[in-house]
């Protein structure tokens, strides 16, 4: 489960940490139940992201992802920034351990959410965003096989009903 | 060493005398203890010496010791072995919500085979109530398995009382004593258990070797089928060098425990009080008095444990988040959730396990470095802004 040197660099010296007072857009995703929570603040000038900052509650990968997504988005047009995918963040970080790939989802989701929030505010749909939506739907305590949908034991290596390998927990 | 090692629970460094014994035997003993000839017999003698040393650590009779590949195998062997051994008697097993995964997942397998499992809640300190155990007993109950000390929060369970309940109802009692053995006195007669698991890497022996104490007459069917090694309870040629390491470590531990306990508790106290004084909004987990002398579990509000662990690691301070076995999975610790802690706080948990080589100066270094790291991570956390500060 080792992190790449780029991940460790962004984790140890994260770029763009903090909040922007009077931000034009705020994206909040995740919740501590799932392990990670991220807030992204953007300042928009024209159609470009002039400034971007983040705050993250999460593991080393989540912090590195937050740092990298802000670096990737800074200076980009909103249209370009909306096209940044989870896989772009993971790639820019030199890869993530398989069980941490879900952290890269959080980064792109938070960025896109901040841009949408900006666009919504601009069009008068919302005034300001207060609380984030839960990133992961809560499935309750039970685990279900994603292939045959039968109820299976937690951390099963494979589904005893259909035989398929079970994906790693919380990998999306 | 260029680092401060505070994760002894993931594995202790080898005691120099253990190392010496293992190297000596690797050079001189290669026979198979099952061979009745001049090469095999010295190996058999070495094996039986280690069995006696291991038995002495927990006040057992040597024939009641079965060597295994470690705590996980011992727990699997105990639970599945009794389930098979008593399958004609019943299919109900009682355990607690805060057991090690090797216990919980052994029971998972048994559920697949139509055994029923009652998993008992614990209180805020992680204690199992012996009265609740008694209440859960049915005519079908064949086994009760509760750990002696919890590996994440250090709480020591009332095993002797639970074993009394088990005895009264003629039910087999197993305790996972992996986190406890070598750190506190463990006596199978005082505990009154039928089965007890232990592992060498918790008391300065090697990883990959442990033992299961099987009280005479306990119906444990083997998991590994084959020859007649280990009193027909565990087939396969023995891991003799590992077992030598376990035996030597057990002998050293027996002698060292009284002084070790006192010294480690003093170090832990220094760490606990220091953290409490320097870092606001933290929780010390586990029972305030009934706890392991070397384990300190601390939950730090607003931040996540792994990032804290990595930053301490960067400063040369090696600690665990929850337990190493659980850190591969992303869920909050089942133990902390079991004690009623909320998910967010449980995520910010560090487990310090101290060992013989640790010093006051090392603890002071942690106290010097940790508050700054916590503050850095808190400043980064979206949860922190929501509280008054």
A154 Cα to chain B: minimum distance (Å): 8
Residue A168: strand, helix, or coil: coil
Residue A144 lies in a domain: yes
pLDDT of residue B41: 93
Closest CA to A59 of B324, B369, B327: B327
How many domains does chain B contain in total? 2
pLDDT of residue A167: 66
Segment A107-148, tens digit of pLDDT: 999 999 999 999 999 888 776 544 444 333 333 445 777 778
Helices vs strands, H then E, count in chain A: 5, 5
Residue A24 lies in a domain: yes
In B, which residues are within 8 Å of A38 by CB distance?
Answer: 382
| Catalytic pick among B52, B266, B324, B325 | B325
Residue A133 lies in a domain: no
Strands (E), chain B: 4-5, 65-68, 92-96, 116-120, 141-145, 172-176, 195-199, 210-214, 282-284, 295-300, 317-318, 320-321, 349-353
The mean pLDDT value for A152-171 works out to 72
Domain match, B315 and B360 both: yes
Residue A84 lies in a domain: yes
Domain match, A159 and A78 both: no
Quickly state the pLDDT bin for A32 (edges 50, 70, 90).
low
Tokens of B110: 């048994």
pLDDT of residue B280: 96
Domain match, B242 and B311 both: no
Domain match, B240 and B261 both: no
Length in residues, chain A: 172
- Is the Cβ–Cβ distance between B358 and B267 less than 8 Å? yes
Chain centroid, CA B225 distance in Å:
26
Say which CATH number the domain at B171 has: 3.40.640.10
Domain match, A51 and A94 both: yes
Domain match, B275 and B344 both: yes
Domain match, B238 and B107 both: yes
Domain match, B196 and B48 both: yes
B286 or A100, higher pLDDT? B286
**Neighbouring residues of A53: CB distance < 8 A, sequence distance ≥ 6:** A16, A17, A18, A19, A20, A23, A40, A41, A70
Distance CA B116, CA B93 (A): 6
Nearest CA in chain A to B384: A57
Domain match, B163 and B248 both: yes
pLDDT of residue B331: 65
A157 Cα to chain B: minimum distance (Å): 11
Model confidence at B16: pLDDT above 80: yes
Domain match, A17 and A91 both: yes
Strand order in the sheet with B172-176: B65-68, B210-214, B195-199, B172-176, B141-145, B92-96, B116-120
Domain match, B316 and B182 both: no
The mean pLDDT value for B348-369 works out to 97
- Is the Cβ–Cβ distance between B200 and B8 less than 8 Å? no
Model confidence at B234: pLDDT above 80: yes
- Is the Cβ–Cβ distance between A7 and A96 less than 8 Å? yes
**Across the interface, do B310 and A17 touch by the CB < 8 Å criterion?**
no
Query: Which of B223, B253, B283 delimits the end of a domain?
Result: B253
- Has B325 been annotated as catalytic? yes
Domain match, A76 and A150 both: no
Domain match, A151 and A78 both: no
pLDDT over 70, % of chain A? 84
pLDDT of residue A33: 65
The mean pLDDT value for B31-56 works out to 95
Domain that holds residue B162: 16-253
Distance CA B176, CA B185 (A): 14
* Mean pLDDT, chain B, whole residue set: 94
Query: Which of B231, B253, B275 delimits the end of a domain?
Result: B253
Domain that holds residue A100: 5-122
Nearest to A59 among B306, B380, B385 (CB): B306
Domain match, A48 and A82 both: yes
Nearest to A99 among B328, B347, B381 (CB): B328
Distance CA B341, CA B20 (A): 45
Tokens of B73: 């195998």
Q: Does B388 touch chain A (CB under 8 A)?
A: no
Question: pTM score, two decimals?
Answer: 0.88
Domain match, B41 and B87 both: yes
Nearest CA in chain A to B383: A57
Domain match, A118 and A39 both: yes
In B, which residues are within 8 Å of A17 by CB distance?
Answer: 379-380
Segment B238-294, tens digit of pLDDT: 999 999 999 999 999 999 999 999 999 999 999 999 999 999 999 999 999 999 999
Q: Does A155 touch chain B (CB under 8 A)?
A: yes
Q: At what angle do helices A5-12 and A60-73 cross, to 10 degrees?
A: 90
Residue A55 lies in a domain: yes
Q: B382, B383, B385: which to substitute to probe chain A, counting the most A Cβ within 10 Å?
A: B382
B332 Cα to chain A: minimum distance (Å): 7
- Is the Cβ–Cβ distance between B249 and B243 less than 8 Å? no
Q: Does B328 touch chain A (CB under 8 A)?
A: yes
Domain match, B173 and B288 both: no
From chain B residues 49-108, the ones with a CB under 8 A of any chain A CB are 105, 108
Residue A130 lies in a domain: no
Segment B334-344, tens digit of pLDDT: 899 899 998 88
Q: Does A74 touch chain B (CB under 8 A)?
A: no
Site of tokens 């499992």: B117
The mean pLDDT value for B3-29 works out to 96
Query: Which of B191, B224, B253 delimits the end of a domain?
Result: B253
For B263-269, the CB contacts below 8 A with 24+ separation are B263/B356, B264/B183, B264/B293, B264/B294, B264/B354, B264/B355, B264/B356, B264/B358, B265/B293, B265/B294, B267/B294, B267/B354, B267/B358, B267/B359, B267/B360, B267/B363, B268/B293, B268/B294, B268/B295, B268/B296, B268/B352, B268/B354
Quickly state the pLDDT bin for A161 (edges 50, 70, 90).
confident
Model confidence at B189: pLDDT above 60: yes
Q: A12, A31, A35: which to substitute to probe chain B, counting the most B Cβ within 10 Å?
A: A35
Q: Does A55 touch chain B (CB under 8 A)?
A: yes
**Neighbouring residues of A99: CB distance < 8 A, sequence distance ≥ 6:** A1, A168, A169, A170, A171, B328, B329, B330
Domain match, A58 and A105 both: yes
Model confidence at B330: pLDDT above 90: no
Residue A109 lies in a domain: yes
Model confidence at B10: pLDDT above 80: yes
**Across the interface, do A62 and B304 touch by the CB < 8 Å criterion?**
yes
Domain match, B215 and B70 both: yes
How many domains does chain A contain in total? 2
Say which CATH number the domain at A49 has: 3.90.1010.10
Say which CATH number the domain at B285 has: 3.90.1150.10
Quickly state the pLDDT bin for B1 (edges 50, 70, 90).
low
pLDDT over 90, % of chain B? 89
Residue B176: strand, helix, or coil: strand
Distance CA A112, CA A78 (A): 9
ipTM for this prediction: 0.76
Q: How far is CA B348 from CA A66, B94, B232, B308, B371, in A?
A: 19, 30, 45, 8, 14
pLDDT of residue B343: 83
Distance CA A56, CA A39 (A): 6
Nearest to B330 among A8, A38, A170 (CB): A170
Q: Supply angle C-alpha B284, B288, B292, rounded to 5.
A: 90
B49 or A96, higher pLDDT? B49
Residue A172 lies in a domain: no
Domain match, A16 and A85 both: yes
Strand pairing partners for B348? Answer: none
pLDDT over 70, % of chain B? 96
Q: B101, B119, B304: which to substitute to probe chain A, counting the most A Cβ within 10 Å?
A: B304
The mean pLDDT value for B361-388 works out to 90
Residue A103: strand, helix, or coil: helix
Domain match, B247 and B374 both: no
Model confidence at B154: pLDDT above 60: yes
Tokens of A56: 């993250």
Tokens of B37: 């000839």
Tokens of B223: 């998991």
């Amino acid at each position: 489960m080792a992190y790449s040197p780029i991940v460790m660099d962004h984790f140890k010296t994260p770029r763009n940490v903090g909040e922007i007072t009077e931000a034009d857009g705020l994206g909040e995703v995740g919740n501590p139940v799932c392990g990670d929570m991220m807030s992204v603040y953007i300042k928009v000038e024209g159609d470009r992201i002039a400034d971007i900052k983040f705050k993250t509650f999460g593991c080393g990968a989540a912090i590195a992802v937050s740092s990298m997504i802000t670096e990737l988005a800074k200076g980009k047009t909103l249209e370009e920034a909306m096209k940044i995918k989870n896989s772009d963040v993971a790639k820019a970080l030199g890869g993530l351990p398989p069980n941490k790939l879900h952290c890269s989802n959080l980064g792109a989701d938070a960025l896109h959410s901040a841009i949408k929030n900006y666009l919504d505010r601009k069009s008068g749909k919302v005034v300001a965003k207060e609380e984030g939506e839960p990133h992961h739907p809560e499935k309750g305590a039970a685990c279900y096989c994603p292939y045959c949908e039968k109820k299976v034991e937690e951390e099963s290596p494979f589904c005893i009903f259909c035989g398929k390998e079970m994906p790693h927990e919380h990998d999306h | 060493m260029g680092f401060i090692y505070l994760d002894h629970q993931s594995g202790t460094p080898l005691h120099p005398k253990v190392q010496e014994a293992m190297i000596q035997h690797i050079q001189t003993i290669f026979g198979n203890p099952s061979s009745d000839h001049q090469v095999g017999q010295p190996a058999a003698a070495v094996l039986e010496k280690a069995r006696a040393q291991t038995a002495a650590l927990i006040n057992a009779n040597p024939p009641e010791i079965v060597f295994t590949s470690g705590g996980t195998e011992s727990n699997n062997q105990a639970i599945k072995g009794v389930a098979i051994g008593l399958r004609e008697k019943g299919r109900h097993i009682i355990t607690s919500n805060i057991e090690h995964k090797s216990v919980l997942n052994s029971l998972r397998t048994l559920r697949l085979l139509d055994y029923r499992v009652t998993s008992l809640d614990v209180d805020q300190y992680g204690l199992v109530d012996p009265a609740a155990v008694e209440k859960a007993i049915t005519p079908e109950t064949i086994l009760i398995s509760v750990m002696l000390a919890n590996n994440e929060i250090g709480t020591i369970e009332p095993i002797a009382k639970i074993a009394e309940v088990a005895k009264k109802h003629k039910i087999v009692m197993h305790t996972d004593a992996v986190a406890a053995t070598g750190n506190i006195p463990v006596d199978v007669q005082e505990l009154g258990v039928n089965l007890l698991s232990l592992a060498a890497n918790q008391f300065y022996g090697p990883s990959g070797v442990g033992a299961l104490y099987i009280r005479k007459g306990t119906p444990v069917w083997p998991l590994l089928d084959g020859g007649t090694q280990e009193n027909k309870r565990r087939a396969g040629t023995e891991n003799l060098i590992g077992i030598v390491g376990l035996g030597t470590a057990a002998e050293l531990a027996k002698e060292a425990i009284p002084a070790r306990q006192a010294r480690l508790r003093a170090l832990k106290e220094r760490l606990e009080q220091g953290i409490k004084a320097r870092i606001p909004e933290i929780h010390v987990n586990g029972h305030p008095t009934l706890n392991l002398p070397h384990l300190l579990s601390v939950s730090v509000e607003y931040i996540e444990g792994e990032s804290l662990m990595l930053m301490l690691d960067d400063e040369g301070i090696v600690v665990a988040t929850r337990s190493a076995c659980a850190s591969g999975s992303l869920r909050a610790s089942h133990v902390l959730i079991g004690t009623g802690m909320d998910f967010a706080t449980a995520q910010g948990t560090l487990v310090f396990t101290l060992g013989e080589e640790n010093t006051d100066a090392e603890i002071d270094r942690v106290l010097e470095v940790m508050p700054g790291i916590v503050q850095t991570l808190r400043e980064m956390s979206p949860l922190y802004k929501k509280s008054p500060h």
